[in-house]
């Protein structure tokens, strides 16, 4: 497959400034027709923190300002994690003998009153790892420590965490468990597009979630809601191709769920990864920041593997959790307001002293707007 084509050249081609500038021009032209049809500037939402970051850092937001408005939806896993789930992680870290292992992004996310980072200062054991497999290795090397991995993330991350359970099982590592907080993308999009009072004309679908789920599961967006949607990769050319196509669909009144990331995303996704998710997890109702409880939008460890479920092993008290009233992350994640519409934005809430998760995570909408200008 691919034969003589070199991968580095292909990566360069998707970063080519010449092609990007022609696509910018195309997006501006298409946006005029789309705007004429809508009677206002088209609003396109991304649902992936990496898209949010690229749209800001590659200058897409600025270059298309006045032509397209980009908003960020519930696509940053750290941001959509509810205060209650953060509190639960904190509870785990406080249990004597437990070491919570996590991707770095979760450390500073505020729960009701504290974050994992603040807890480490109080003596809780929290360790940042780059992969679930390294958390398993840590458990294997420290048999006297109960290692709990925070399973946060969408369909992209869930199979990798499932594999860590498989690894702990096959290597007979008794002191490894997962606090499973995984979330699923199709159910939240189904809620998002039906939200009353939200202006939304097109969706950039998250390439790496789709690499697992496939493109076809998102067909309902066009079929049931007439929402133009395009699966996109993460180079500037990927994002611009998707933007042009969405604008074209708006202008032509021909919504579809298209895919410009076919080099990675297949129609039905990655069967091996879907099988491994099905083997270890089952769908469960899950609480999202900003959205509340969404039916069957999260994952839970199956009965058969309960001994790897941290909730089962430690049965922590469920915390009484509240979101900070002055933070409007919920409205940002639902596309109701822009980060700059929040009264705390850039004043009491900055990346140095963040109030909400959307300002903590590098991929959060508020952080991206702050760093690259709203």
CA distance 100 to 129: 10
Among 40, 223, 263, 371, binds another protein (CB under 8 A): 263
Q: Does 87 bind another protein (CB under 8 A)?
A: no
Q: Does 156 bind another protein (CB under 8 A)?
A: yes
Characterise 273 by phi-psi region: left (phi > 0), alpha (psi -120 to 50), beta (else).
alpha
Q: Taking CB positions, which residue lies at the least distance from ligand SF4?
A: 356
φ/ψ of 16, rounded to 5, equals -65, 120
CA distances in angstroms from 327 to 23, 113, 120, 337, listed in the order given: 36, 13, 24, 12
Among 86, 232, 273, 366, binds another protein (CB under 8 A): 273
Residue closer to ligand SF4 by CB (options 150, 342) is 342
Q: In the complex, what is the shortest distance from the CB of residue 103 to another protein, in angstroms, rounded to a whole number?
A: 7
* Region 29-58 residues binding another protein, contact defined as CB under 8 A: 29-30, 48-50
Residue closer to another protein by CB (options 192, 210) is 210
Per partner kind, with CB cut-offs from 5 to 8 A, the member of another protein, ligand SF4, none near residue 342 is ligand SF4
Q: Does 78 bind another protein (CB under 8 A)?
A: yes
Binding site for ligand SF4 (CB under 6 A): 327-329, 332, 339, 342, 344-345, 349, 354-356, 358-359, 366
Residue closer to another protein by CB (options 109, 349) is 109
Per partner kind, with CB cut-offs from 5 to 8 A, the member of another protein, ligand SF4, none near residue 263 is another protein
How many residues sit in the footprint of another protein (CB under 8 A)? 62
Q: What are the residues binding another protein (CB under 8 A)?
A: 1-3, 5-8, 10-11, 13-14, 19, 22-23, 25-26, 29-30, 48-50, 76-78, 103, 105, 130-134, 152-154, 156-157, 159-160, 163, 206-209, 211-212, 234, 237, 241, 244, 248, 260, 262-266, 270, 272-273, 276, 361, 363
């Amino acid at each position: 497959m691919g034969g003589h084509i070199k991968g580095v050249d292909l990566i360069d081609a998707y970063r080519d400034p010449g092609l990007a500038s022609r696509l910018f021009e195309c997006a501006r032209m298409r946006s005029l027709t789309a705007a004429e049809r809508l009677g206002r500037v088209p609003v396109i939402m991304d649902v992936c923190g990496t898209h949010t970051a690229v749209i800001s850092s590659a200058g897409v937001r600025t270059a298309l300002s006045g032509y397209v408005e980009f908003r960020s939806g519930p696509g940053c896993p750290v941001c959509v994690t509810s205060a209650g789930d953060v509190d639960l992680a904190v509870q785990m870290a406080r249990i004597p003998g437990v070491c919570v292992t996590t991707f770095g992004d979760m450390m500073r996310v505020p729960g009701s009153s504290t974050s994992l980072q603040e807890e480490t200062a109080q003596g809780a054991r929290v360790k940042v790892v780059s992969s679930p497999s390294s958390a398993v290795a840590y458990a294997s090397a420290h048999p006297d420590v109960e290692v709990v991995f925070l399973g946060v993330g969408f369909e992209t991350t869930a199979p990798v965490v499932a594999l860590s359970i498989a690894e702990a099982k096959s290597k007979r590592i008794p002191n490894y468990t997962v606090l499973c907080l995984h979330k699923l993308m199709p159910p939240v999009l189904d809620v998002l597009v039906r939200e009353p009072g939200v202006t939304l004309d097109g969706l950039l679908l998250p390439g790496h979630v789709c690499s697992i789920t496939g493109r076809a599961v998102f067909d309902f967006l066009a079929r049931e809601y007439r929402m133009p949607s395009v699966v996109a990769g993460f180079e500037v050319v990927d994002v611009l191709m998707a933007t042009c196509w969405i604008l074209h669909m708006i202008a032509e009144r021909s919504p579809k769920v298209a895919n410009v990331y076919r080099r990675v995303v297949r129609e039905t996704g990655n069967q091996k990864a879907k099988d491994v998710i099905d083997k270890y997890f089952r769908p469960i109702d899950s609480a999202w920041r900003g959205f509340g409880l969404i039916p069957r939008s999260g994952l839970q460890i199956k009965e058969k593997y309960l001994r790897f479920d941290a909730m089962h092993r430690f049965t922590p008290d469920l915390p009484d959790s509240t979101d900070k009233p002055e933070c409007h992350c919920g409205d940002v994640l639902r596309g109701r307001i822009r980060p700059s519409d929040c009264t705390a934005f850039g004043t009491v809430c900055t990346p140095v002293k963040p109030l909400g998760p959307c300002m903590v995570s590098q991929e959060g909408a508020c952080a991206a707007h702050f760093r690259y200008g709203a």
